[in-house]
Amino acid sequence: MLQWLYMKQPSLEERIIALEERNARVEADKAWETSWLRRAAIMLLTYLTVVAYLHFVIHISPWLNALVPVIGFLLSTLTVSLLKRWWLGNR
């Protein structure tokens, strides 16, 4: 029952290595979140989803109309990063 008391605690070196590995993962996640490849993939998936919706549900010409949410997404990602930078600088 008290086995956790007797378990070996990680050494300082092991803890530092674990923190460095975690930091590398966090930096990679951050790079992915801000990458243009991620934005392009979301834009493409959004576009194809709206095309299918407009074609099968609304029955209008979808190819041009589906660009509206994609452009909206692109503008929102650009605007949000600008707002975030402004907010961080003024807090």
Query: What pLDDT shows up at residue 6?
Result: 65
Q: What is the pTM of this model?
A: 0.61
- For residue 16, what pLDDT is reported? 95
Averaged pLDDT in 10-residue chunks for the chain of 91 residues: 67 94 91 84 88 84 85 82 77 69
What is d(CA 52, CA 45) in angstroms, rounded to the nearest whole number? 11
Domain ranges of the chain: 30-91
Q: Which residue has the tokens 């194809």?
A: 48
77: CB partners within 8 A, 6+ apart: 39
pLDDT confidence of residue 2: 58
pLDDT at 17: 95
What pLDDT is stored for residue 8 in this prediction? 77
